[in-house]
Structures are given as structure tokens and as C-alpha cells.
Chain A
Amino acid sequence: MDRPDWAPEGIDLTRPSVARAYDYWLGGSHNFAIDRDWARQVLAAVPDLRLMAQANRAFLHRAVRFMVDQGVRQFLDIGSGIPTVGNVHEIAQRAAPGSRVVYVDIDPVAVAHSEQILKGEPGAAVIMADLRQPSAVLTHRATRALLDFDRPVGLLLCSVLHAIPDADDPYGMVRELVKPLPPGSYVAISHGTLDDLVEEADEMTELAGRTTTPITGRPRAEVERFFAGLELVEPGLVWSVLWRPEEPDETFERPGRSGFYAGVARVPG
């Protein structure tokens, strides 16, 4: 990016934010009218979206609990958004007290909100950074202070990579983020797709274009490429509702309607 480090970030409250719309779909109230207007339009096009968001969020929590079970005690959550109910640090700390979490988001409002929530929470921090600059994330003071890269780290990339178009080389970003992770670390990815939303695809694409962060839904093979060089754990890359469900799912007629591919992989070594 050409923007010098001291140039200010813009803050645009006149355009809907995906982070706040996502909160709305999850049933939260951390959003503005502009976000709700847009979120309702998307809902009209894709009535299952609330359920998709809930399923995606539930995958994140299952993935975190899985990683805690594997001994991971520190997490890097990129694209953390508005942390409504059930933040990663709450989930992780409930499963393993003392777990540490660094949240990363590019949305200034999401970051400011996270700061409010994390006030007085020594085990978690939020940084405003762009996934497009992995080194800025990895070398950030808070990252260095909270995360020990000599021990396994849980890298969470949930519902964020579809915000990066191919032109920005999202695969290179993931490679760079994975590179410093020691063996035994885990990477969780959930990624929006239109593979089973053929009828809604056009409208989804059009609506996504209106937000501050347009969406690139990717077919399964392209999502699988993000795990190159990593060992996918069972059951591999699947619909989000099918990844290690804790009880039978009755919410989708067919799992593909969940709209997200999800998988967790281990850093080999």
C-alpha cells in the first residue's frame, strides 16, 4: 500500500459495514440504520443468512474449543469484526483459563468497540490492521506482547478471506501468516461460497458491492488451496454445519445452504 503509515484511516459511517451487518444477522444491536437497511436487503435475497451467520459463528467456537483441546492457548483472530456474544477469548478462557487472544480488524468502529469490551482484560487485545499486510499484523507490538511464536498458535481466519479479491493475492497472505507458526499450531478457515446458492448468486454479488468490503465467494477447490502445505484435520473441508457438530443440525434442509466452507488444519513439523 502506498499510504504512509501516518496517514489517517478514513471512517465512513454513510456506508454499511459488513462487520455491523453481521452483528445484526446474529441478532445483535451493535449496528446502525445504514447497516440494518443493507442487512435486511441481503436477508430478502438470502433468507437463510441469519442461520448462515449463526452456523459460521458456531463453527468458530467449535474450532476454538477443538484447538484448546489440542493444547493451543493463544489465538490470532483476523477479521474479528464486532465481537457480540461469545468472543473468542471468552470461549477459549472458559475452556482453558489464561488463554490469550489478539483480535485484528480493519474496521475502525469494530476496533474501537472491541477495545471497550477488552478494557481490563489482560489476556486479549485488538489491533487495527489490514490482512493485506500480514507482516504489520505479525510484528505489531500487541501481537509480540501477547503471543509466543515458539508455542502453538491458533490462527483464525473466519469469514474474512472472501473479502480479499484474487488480485490482492489472499493465498500469499495466508502463507505469510502461517510461516511463523510453529508445528502444532492450527489454522481455522471459514469462507463464503456461492456453490449451493446458485439462484441468489447474482443478487448477493450485487449487494456485496455496496459495502465497504466487497465479497468474493470462492468455489470449494479455491478454498481448499488456502490449506496448501497444512494437514486438514477430520472431517476436512466441509460445509460449516458439518464440521464436528456437537448435536444434529436441523436448521438447513441441505447443509450447502449454510453458505460457508469450513476447515481446520494443523501446521506440520
Chain B
Amino acid sequence: MSGLPGFVAAWGRALRAVAYAPLTPPERTTLLAGLAERLAGALAAPAFDPAAGYWVGTDLVAAGYAAPEALGRTLTVLRTRLPGALGGEVPQERVTALVESLAAGFAAAVHERSLDAQESIRLAALTARDRAERKLRESEARIRHLVTHDPLTGLPNRAALAGLLAAAGDRVGLCCIDLDRFAGVNDSLGPGVGDRLLGAAADRLRALVAAGGHRLLRLDGDQFAILLADTAGSEDAIKMADRALAVLAEPFHVDGTEVPLTASAGVVERPAGGEPAELIRAAHIALHWAKADGRGCWRLFDDARSTADAARYRLSAAIPAGLRRGEFTLDYQPLVALTGGAARVTGAEALARWRHPVEGRLGADRFIGLAQDAGLIVPLGDHLLELACQQAAGWRTPDGTDPPHVNVNLAAPQVYRAGLAGLVAQILDRTGLPPHRLHLEITEYALIEPTREVLANLRALGALGVRVVVDDFGTGYSNLACLRTLPLHGIKLAAALVGPPAAAASDRAFLATVVALGHTLGLTVTAEGIETAEQAERMREAGCDVGQGYYFGRPLSSDRIARRIAAPLPRRSWTDDAGSTAESAL
């Protein structure tokens, strides 16, 4: 092959495999033939312009022949083969200039190409990194959504509250709404129904809340919360709670079943900026009040009430430690015989006291109820029973006669407990108190419907020789049948029966009838709450056997009651004794 086609073939062979270009051999031949024509044209031109070589160099690179070897071999082929292919009449300096120009064009194109490629790969890396970061953020957002939303209703959950509060304005309201007895729905109709009911309830609340621009959250299984932003006062939050309870009170229809529902709400409204947990806690406390007040209603959180609740709770929680440290003690209020001449102390009622290390001396009304609620009344009652027996066993009269009996109150759980008599027997045994000197006061409430245990306990106590007295008789649920059949020894008339100073004739008749009833059944009748001589006289006239009250003496410490019992008998009648009680009342 000779002439230009021969040069093109040699060029093609030189370029083969020195660089990668995606050209088929025919494509390559076409490309190189075109470039060779341009080179030949330049060399033969009347006015020589070496720039033609430059553009051939750039086109070579553009076609993919960008490797250094491609340039080297191209230059060699050009120098050695091109002049010959053109007939040998080409000036050497033109060839040299053309070759230099081609090399310059080639190098410049490779440079440009590298810069472009570097830029594009950097851009790709940036894009990829951006994309990875965006995906990371999206997945974070998705996780955040999962964490802050309830999957069943799609509502924000407790974890979302902090974020919502941050944008809620100067004052916020929170209505914590709890479906009443929802567990019952799930248990009886199945959890599927429960879920649909929750969804339906959520839909109603959502519609209600959306109208006011407020936010609905699902705090817990059957608990929703409405967050009100920028409230003007508690009235706003209360109105919302009221409306929420109203929309939930409309019967629901789930799976063709009508499911009636009520809800309770705890409402709190306060300046924004507090801890979200604190806000929820306040709403929960108010919700607890609403539940305790019979459900189906709302209650507004109130700091004072909450503080009182908290104080009660703290006190209740301190009872076990108080028991361990012996902080519970007894005072004794004298029981005085109304019959006979002298104001004879026949007994004393033990009254529980708590020497609280911080609160000071607390009366029974401050902690007996708490102990009952906390389930601590039995250990406390047992402790006080033993203490009373122990102290009463030490009483001595001046003349060596039988000392007065001690009245000890038993709480209903103690009376219901099997084996009460056995416990009492052990205590009497340990303390040495004769059984007949122990009078146990039980409320008539415990006797409304005496259980087998109660009956067994009372009979066993009777057999033991311990006396049982019904306290607060005449105020509540007196079961006359019980009075007749149970082994009882006395009744204590409620203070209300002692009545006002100027009692009506009918009251006097009623009192007389009750006393007569007691006597008919062979029971001792005690009147408590006697504060004046007039009351004392009236009770004596009515036939009461024993009196108790400030008029006869305030509660005394165990030392002082022991001293009073040990003191020589007063010479005066009980009606004259009243003056001396004031000083002993402390």
C-alpha cells in the first residue's frame, strides 16, 4: 500500500492497543483518513499554517486516543511515513512545525480532558455524598417520626410533646383524656374491636381539635391528650375537655355493636416553659381526681389540692418507718361512771397519736385513714393494741381495787381477719392484762353483714373474757339483729346523739329509747362527746351508764392517766370534778 492510504494503515496499526478507544477498525480507519487528509493539506498549502496539526492532536484525543503512547507513536509515524506518503517534496521544517503543533494540541486536549474528568468525578462524589447524607437525614426523620408517633392512630405520642410544647406560646393547656373502663372493652369484645374503638375515638377527637387549631396526642393505650396553645386561662382548657367528653359520650358503633363509652379528663393550664413531664404529671393527677370522683367528668389541676395530696402521700409513705421507730403512741381519755356518787373513772379509751419527727404530734384523724388506704392499718392496729394492753396492765388504783379497763379501737380489717382472738390472747398473755379489762371498740359498720370470720372472732373474744363495744352507735347502719345475737357488751352512743344543749323533746325521747334498747339487751351504754355539765346531766337522766368527753377530761398521756388512776379518790361528786379537768386536758 502506498500514498496516503498506506500512511493511514500504518498509523492505525501504531495506535492499535496503545490506548483504549471505542472504535471499530473501520471507524478508526475513517477517523485517521480524515486526519491524514488535513495534515497532508496543511503541508501542501501555499501558506503553511502549523495550527492544523494542533487541531488534529485535539481531535485524536477527542476520539479516545488520549494515552501518551498514542501521541508518541503518532509522532513517529508522522515523521517517518508522512513525507514519503506525500511524495517526498515536503520541507522538513514544515513537518517539524506540524509535529510540534500536533503534540501541543494533543497535550492541551489531554489536559482539558483530565480537568473535565476530575471535575465531573468530584461532582459525582459530592452528589453521592449529599445523597447519602440526605438519605441519612430522611431515615433519621423517619425514625424520629416512628419514635414520636403512635402507629395505630398516627397521632403524635408522649415523646412528641416536648417538641409541640416548644411552639405552643405563652400559656398552654393540656387535657389528658382517658377512656373509662376501656380494658373491659378489650377483654369482652376482643382487642380488634378495642383498636377500632380507639381509632374511632381518635377520629372524633381529631375533628374536634382540628377546628380549634389544637393538637391531639395519644399518650398511652386508652389515653389521649389535647394540647392547647396560647390559652388565655384555664377556662379555655376546661371548655375543650368538656367538649371532648361530650363527643366521646355519643355511642360508638364498632363491628355492628353499639359500644357506649365515657371518658374522664384531667385538665391543666399554666404558663408555658415547664418540663413536659411535669405538665403530663399535673394532668394525670387531675385525671386521677376525675376518676376518683366517679369518672365521666373532668377535673382541673389545682396546686393546693395536689400539694395536700402529696403531703398525704408522704405521710402515708412514712408510716412503716414510723412503726419501726416506735413513733406511734397512745393517749387515754377517761370514761367516767354516770351512776353513783363520785366521778369514778371506770375506764379509758386509748387514742392513737403519731409523734412525727417533722410534722410533730398528729391525731388519729390525720393518719388512721391513710393507714387504712395504704393497707397498713392491721400492723398499726396490732401495735397499738399491744401498747394499750401493756400500759393498762401497769395501772394501779390507790386502794388496790381492780384498775379501770382500757378501750381499744379495732379497724374493720382487724375485725375481719381470721384468728383475731388468738392474737388478742397472745397479747394479753404477754402483757399480763386481765381479759375483762380489755374493751375492744368496733364500728357498727363492721357489723352490717357480719361474715363468718367476724362472728367467729366475736364469739372467741367473748369466750376469752374480752368485752366488745359497738362504737358510734346510732349514726349509721345499726343492725338490731346483730345487737341481739352477737356477744356484745356495750354500745357507745355517737356524739351526735348527745345533741345540742337545748335538745327537742323528740330527741330526748329518741335518746331514752336507744338507751332503753341497750339496757334491754343487757348492754352498757356509754355517751361520748360530753362537753358541758348540762349534757352530762341530761345523759345521766337518759340512763347512760358511762360518760366520756372534755367535760370529764381530755385525753392524757399514758403517764398522766396512770397517775390520775393512782391518785386518791376525789371527795367531790363528778359534777364538781369538771373544773379540774381543764388543767389535766393538756
Interface residues of A (CB under 8 A from B): 6-11, 13, 20, 26-32, 51, 53-54, 57-58, 61, 65, 82, 84-86, 90-91, 108-113, 115-116, 246-247, 249-251
Contact = CB atoms under 8 A, between A and B. Distances in A.
Given A57-B20, A85-B21, A90-B22, A28 B117 contact: yes
Interface of B: 16-17, 19-22, 24-25, 64, 66-67, 113-114, 117-118, 120-121, 123-125, 127-129, 131-133, 135-136, 138-139, 142
B16 A250 contact: yes
B66 A8 contact: no
Contacts of B114: 29
A128 B114 CA distance: 26
Nearest to A88: B22
B188 to A, nearest CB: 38
Nearest to A20: B121
Interface-centre pick from A26, A57, A85 (highest chain B CB count, 10 A): A85
A239 to B, nearest CB: 15
A163 B347 CA distance: 101
* Complex A-B, nearest 5 residue pairs according to Cβ-Cβ distance, in ascending order: A86-B22, A8-B135, A113-B124, A29-B117, A108-B128
Contact of B129 (A13, A30, A85, A246): A13
Contacts, number: 96
Nearest to B128: A108
Contacts of A31: 121
A6 to B, nearest CB: 5
A112 B127 contact: yes
B121 A85 contact: no
15 contacts: A8-B138, A9-B135, A11-B132, A13-B125, A27-B66, A29-B113, A30-B118, A57-B22, A58-B20, A85-B22, A86-B22, A109-B128, A112-B127, A113-B123, A246-B24
A10 B127 CA distance: 13
Contact of B120 (A27, A30, A85, A251): A30
A129 B509 CA distance: 100
Contact of A82 (B17, B67, B121): B121
Interface-centre pick from A65, A91, A108 (highest chain B CB count, 10 A): A108
B21 A86 contact: yes
Contacts of B67: 27
Contacts of A9: 132, 135
Nearest to A247: B25
A85 B132 contact: no
Nearest to B27: A94
Contacts of B138: 6, 8
Contacts of A20: 121
Given A6-B138, A51-B17, A111 B128 contact: yes
Contacts of B125: 11, 13, 32, 109, 112
Contacts of A251: 17
Given A6-B138, A108-B128, A65 B24 contact: yes
Contact of B132 (A10, A82, A91, A247): A10
Contacts of A250: 16-17
A255 B43 CA distance: 41
B544 to A, nearest CB: 84
A112 B22 contact: no
Contacts of A113: 120-121, 123-124
A86 B23 CA distance: 8
Contacts of A115: 124, 127
B17 A54 contact: yes
Nearest to A82: B121
B131 A108 contact: yes
Interface-centre pick from B22, B117, B136, B142 (highest chain A CB count, 10 A): B22
Contact of A27 (B20, B121, B132): B20
B17 A30 contact: no
Given A8-B132, A113-B123, A249-B17, 17 more contacts: A6-B139, A6-B142, A8-B133, A8-B139, A13-B129, A27-B66, A32-B121, A53-B20, A65-B24, A82-B121, A85-B64, A86-B20, A90-B22, A91-B22, A109-B121, A116-B123, A250-B16
A121 to B, nearest CB: 15
Contacts of B127: 112, 115-116
Contacts of A90: 22
Nearest to A26: B20
Contacts of A26: 20
Interface-centre pick from A20, A28, A110 (highest chain B CB count, 10 A): A28
Contacts of A246: 24-25
Nearest to A245: B25
Contacts of B21: 85-86
Nearest to B20: A54
A235 B16 CA distance: 23
Contacts of B135: 6-9
Contacts of A51: 17
A201 to B, nearest CB: 25
B117 A11 contact: no
Nearest to B136: A8
A108 B132 contact: yes
Nearest to A8: B135
A54 B66 CA distance: 13
